[in-house]
């Protein structure tokens, strides 16, 4: 063990001098987390407020019902903000100038058409620069139109072709519940801070085991093999290097993101346990990948591919699990997904026990991939 | 100190080492002389526990040495052919690291690091990253690491390859001094002059086989050649040749191409007496050419090819 610690100490000294390692382990994840946090802040928190224009050329009960029952609840919830325009041209201009995401146009005769059970339309004029806002506006209008259509068909079936427009529009009022999951999801700072930290963790830990290829190339591995130490000490030293680098970079990122991008990681003990499990899992996975390589360059490119695929699948850039289906299932095959899930479990003041499941999953990863790596690792120091 | 018995090593279809045996006593410098690809590096890799022999054994101080040996390796100092140092660490850090790896306590290691830095002449630049060193300085550090723990057996694999003449001479002087201090040295080279200068005994290796071994004189005697001397001068050359035949070590003397041609034993020691005899015979000598059979000739004799082919 003494020799392993001597080797790890030397490796860590080298890594500290290597500024690219510091960049990859700390600076890059921090910068990317900050950038992503700023860009996607609203989308992640669900606290989106869309600016919509409204042009009411009908002034009838159906238009009133649309404004009151369809748009009203959303406005009161703070999800939309309405600005009323008096003419079609004014509404169109507001959308074109990107002053609003979209403008609803309620045409003259809307209420009459609804009352007679005739086709009626609500126009949505979208801003080309706000595709999401336009889609939201279209969804609101479509929902309203579908509701009227449902009643029209029901009335036709009952041979009642005259429908009270106000009643028709008021039936089944649109209810937009606050779908924000901020009580179960990470806020943007924490999500991107944690996502980038665990994504780059897979790159950071590779410095340990992959340096064996450098040692071989530089002849220093031969020199170590000629020294009075067990061969296992060399491998242990490299693994210690990976574990220390991974843990240190994560610890620095937890603290840095707390102050720089207001990340809320949760219970410190739970976070610490998650980090240890994550570092073990990432080290085991990257070591296994390295055992298939022959050179530093080969190992690094294969490890980068695995880190990238696992990172994307594990939801470190965006919450892919919300896509559901196969992607959601596949994401659980990555330690990154379990790490983020563990952090989600810690939100809302949960104790360290909340991470038991994700930690167990990551440790299972570490055990399985670590065992496979151990079966093959001897070839890394074979002469 | 070291005994290699019937070592064999095969890499795929290539039989790199075929039944090599030799032994080295304490204080002795043993050279493995052979061209590139002769199997020298493979042999010493087995001799220092880096490589497992397919057959045969290595005994160090009478105890078997394998790749898994730990305590036995502590008495070996290994200097690989290629540079084996960390370019992003200083000379002091390189030495300190390998010193700790060889089990030196930190206070002992610090003392030894200082001593070795003085020996290899790097004290002034000890704290500079070695990537900034010249090739010669890196070579000296490469050797210094092998000396750090005061090994009883020093194994050097072609340590002067690619080294400037000044550094090369410094390396050879160091090896001579260490041998004089009682260290056993196993030295591989394809430079005949180095083997002749340093080694008490020499093993000639080619195609994985030890073709012959012995002292320089023993090896030369295998060739059956004698020293040759050519004397050019003015006077009665034929009379001088006849007179020189009276000297015991002179086996033959004749006049050819305007010079006295002699076949002798021990040309260098004979030369003063020979010159006196020729001068007394009335010849004013203005050119002396001594040709002694060397290891190059031995190698040619044993393998049918030149050492640098």
Distance from CA of A261 to the nearest CA of B (A): 35
pLDDT at position A173 is 42
Nearest to A222 among B68, B76, B80 (CB): B80
Phi, psi at A38, each rounded to 5°: -70, -45
Q: Which of B86, B93, B138 to mutate to test the interface with A (most CBs of A within 10 A)?
A: B86
Q: In chain B, which residues have their Cβ closer than 8 Å to the Cβ of A222?
A: 50, 78, 80, 84
A143-193 tens-digit pLDDT: 787 777 776 666 666 555 455 555 555 544 443 333 333 344 677 778 888
**Where in chain A are the domains?**
2-42+184-380, 48-170
Please state which CATH class domain A48-170 belongs to: alpha beta
User: Distance from CA of residue A319 to its chain's centroid?
Assistant: 3
Nearest to B103 among A13, A18, A228 (CB): A228
Report ipTM for this prediction. Answer: 0.79
| More confident call, A183 vs A14 | A14
- Local structure of residue B147 (DSSP, 8 states): H
* End-to-end alpha carbon distance in chain A: 22
pLDDT at position B281 is 87
Q: Do B89 and A13 touch (CB under 8 A)?
A: yes
Q: Do B102 and A228 touch (CB under 8 A)?
A: yes
B76-133 tens-digit pLDDT: 999 998 889 999 999 999 999 999 999 888 888 889 999 899 888 889 999 999 999 9
Residue A270, token pair as written in the block: 């739970």
What's the whole-number mean pLDDT along residues B193-212?
Answer: 88
* Domain architecture of chain B: domains with CATH: 2-221 (3.40.50.300), 226-292 (3.30.70.100)
Nearest to A226 among B50, B88, B100 (CB): B50
Q: In chain B, which residues have their Cβ closer than 8 Å to the Cβ of A229?
A: 70, 101
Nearest to A10 among B48, B97, B102 (CB): B97
Q: Produce one character per residue of A171-208: b if its CB has 16 or more CB atoms within 10 Å, e if not.
A: beeeeeeeeeeeeebbbbbbbbbbbbbbbbbbbbbbbb
Q: A-B interface: how many C-beta pairs under 8 angstroms?
A: 66
B206-216 tens-digit pLDDT: 889 998 898 88
| More confident call, A27 vs A336 | A336
What's the whole-number mean pLDDT along residues A100-120?
Answer: 84
Q: Which residue has the tokens 């994550």?
A: A278
A18-65 tens-digit pLDDT: 887 778 777 877 787 777 766 665 555 555 678 899 999 988 888 888
What's the whole-number mean pLDDT along residues A212-222?
Answer: 90
Q: In chain B, which residues have their Cβ closer than 8 Å to the Cβ of A230?
A: 68, 70
Q: Do A219 and B50 touch (CB under 8 A)?
A: no
Chain A residues with CB within 8 Å of chain B CB: 3, 6-7, 10, 13-14, 17-18, 218-220, 222-231, 383
Three-state DSSP string of chain A? CHHHHHHHHHHHHHHHHCHHHHHHHHHHHHHHHHHHHHHCHHHHHCCCCEEEEEEECCCCHHHHHHHHHHHHHHHHCCCEEEEEECCHHHHHHHHHCCCCCEEEEECCCHHHHHHHCCCCCCEEEECCCCHHHHHHHHHHHHHHHHHHHHHHHHHHHCCCCCCCHHHHHHCCCCCCCCCCCCCCCCCHHHHHHHHHHHHHHHHHCHHHHHHHHHHHHHCHHHHHHHCCCCHHHHHHHHHHHHHHHHHHHHHHHHHHHHHHCCCCCCCHHHHHHHHHHHHHHHHHHHHHHHCCCCCHHHHHHHHHHHHHHHHHHCCCCCCHHHHCHHHHHHHCCCHHHHHHHHHHHHHHHCCHHHHHHHHHHHHHHHHHHHHHHHHHHHHHCCC
Q: In chain A, which residues have their Cβ closer than 8 Å to the Cβ of B68?
A: 230-231
* Helix axes B91-101 and B135-147, enclosed angle (nearest 10): 20
Q: Do B84 and A10 touch (CB under 8 A)?
A: no
pLDDT at position A183 is 42
B186 inside 8 A of chain A by CB: no
pLDDT at position B192 is 83
| More confident call, A152 vs A14 | A14
pLDDT at position A129 is 67
The least confident of A9-23, A102-116, A174-188, B55-69 is A174-188
pTM surpassing 0.90?
A: no
Q: Do A225 and B67 touch (CB under 8 A)?
A: yes
In percent, how much of chain A has pLDDT > 90?
A: 22
pLDDT at position A41 is 58
Alpha-carbon distance B243 to A238, whole Å? 77
A269-325 tens-digit pLDDT: 999 999 999 999 999 999 999 889 888 888 888 998 998 999 888 888 877 766 667
> Under a CB-based contact definition with an 8 Å cutoff, are residues A195 and A356 in contact?
no
């Amino acid at each position: 063990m003494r020799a392993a610690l001597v080797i790890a100490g030397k490796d860590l000294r080298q890594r500290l001098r290597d500024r690219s390692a510091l960049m990859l382990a700390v600076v890059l994840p921090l910068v990317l987390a900050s950038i992503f946090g700023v860009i996607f802040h609203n989308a992640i928190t669900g606290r989106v407020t869309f600016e919509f224009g409204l042009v009411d050329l009908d002034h009838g009960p159906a238009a009133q019902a649309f404004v009151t029952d369809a748009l009203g609840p959303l406005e009161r919830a703070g999800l939309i903000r309405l600005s009323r325009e008096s003419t079609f041209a004014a509404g169109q201009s507001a959308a074109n100038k990107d002053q609003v995401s979209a403008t609803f146009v309620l045409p003259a005769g809307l209420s009459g058409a609804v009352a007679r059970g005739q086709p009626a339309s609500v126009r949505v004029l979208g801003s080309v620069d706000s595709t999401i806002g336009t889609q939201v506006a279209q969804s609101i209008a479509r929902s309203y139109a579908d509701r009227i259509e449902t009643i029209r068909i029901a009335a036709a079936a009952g041979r009642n072709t005259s429908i009270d427009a106000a009643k028709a529009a008021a039936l089944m009022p649109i209810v937009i519940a606050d779908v924000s999951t901020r009580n179960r999801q990470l806020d943007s700072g924490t999500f991107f801070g944690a996502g980038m930290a665990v994504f780059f963790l897979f790159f950071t830990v590779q410095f340990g085991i992959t340096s064996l290829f450098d040692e071989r190339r530089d002849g220093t591995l031969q020199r170590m093999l000629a020294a009075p130490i067990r061969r296992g000490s060399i491998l242990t030293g490299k693994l210690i290097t990976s574990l220390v680098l991974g843990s240190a970079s994560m610890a620095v990122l937890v603290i840095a993101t707390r102050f720089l991008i207001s990340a809320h990681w949760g219970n410190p003990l739970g976070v610490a346990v998650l980090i240890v499990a994550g570092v073990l899992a990432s080290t085991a996975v990257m070591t296994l990948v390295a055992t298939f390589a022959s050179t530093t360059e080969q190992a690094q490119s294969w490890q980068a591919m695995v880190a990238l695929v696992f990172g994307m699948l594990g939801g470190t850039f965006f919450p892919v699990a919300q896509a559901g289906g196969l992607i959601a299932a596949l994401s659980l095959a990555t330690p990154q997904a379990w790490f983020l899930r563990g952090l989600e479990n810690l939100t809302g003041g949960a104790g360290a026990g909340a991470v038991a499941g994700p930690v167990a999953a990551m440790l299972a990863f570490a055990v399985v991939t670590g065992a496979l790596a151990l079966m093959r690792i001897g070839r890394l120091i074979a002469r | 100190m070291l005994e290699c018995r019937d070592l064999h090593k095969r890499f795929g279809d290539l039989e790199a080492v075929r039944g090599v045996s030799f032994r080295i006593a304490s204080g002795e410098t043993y050279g493995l002389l052979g061209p590139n690809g002769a199997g020298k590096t493979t042999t010493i890799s087995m001799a220092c526990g880096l490589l497992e022999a397919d057959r045969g054994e290595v005994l160090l101080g009478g105890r078997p040495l394998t790749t898994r040996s730990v305590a036995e390796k502590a008495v070996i100092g290994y200097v690989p052919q290629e540079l084996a140092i960390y370019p992003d660490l200083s000379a002091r850090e390189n030495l300190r690291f390998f010193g700790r790896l060889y089990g030196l306590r930190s206070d002992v290691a610090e003392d030894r690091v200082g001593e070795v830095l003085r020996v290899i002449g790097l004290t002034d630049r000890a704290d500079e990253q070695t990537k900034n060193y010249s090739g010669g300085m890196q070579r000296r550090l490469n050797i210094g690491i092998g000396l750090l723990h005061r090994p009883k057996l020093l194994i050097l694999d072609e340590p002067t390859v690619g080294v400037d003449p000044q550094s090369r001479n410094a390396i050879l002087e160091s090896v001579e001094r260490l041998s004089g201090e009682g260290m056993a040295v196993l030295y591989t080279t394809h430079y005949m002059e180095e083997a002749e200068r340093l080694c008490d005994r020499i093993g000639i290796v080619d195609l994985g086989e030890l073709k012959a071994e012995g002292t320089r004189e023993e090896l030369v005697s295998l060739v059956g050649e004698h020293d040759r001397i050519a004397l050019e001068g003015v006077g009665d050359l034929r009379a001088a040749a006849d007179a020189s035949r009276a000297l015991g070590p002179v086996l033959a003397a004749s006049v050819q191409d305007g010079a006295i041609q002699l076949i002798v034993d021990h040309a260098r020691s004979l030369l003063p007496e020979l010159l006196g005899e020729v001068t007394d015979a009335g010849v004013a000598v203005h050119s002396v050419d001594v040709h002694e059979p060397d290891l190059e000739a031995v190698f040619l004799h044993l393998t049918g090819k030149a050492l640098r082919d």
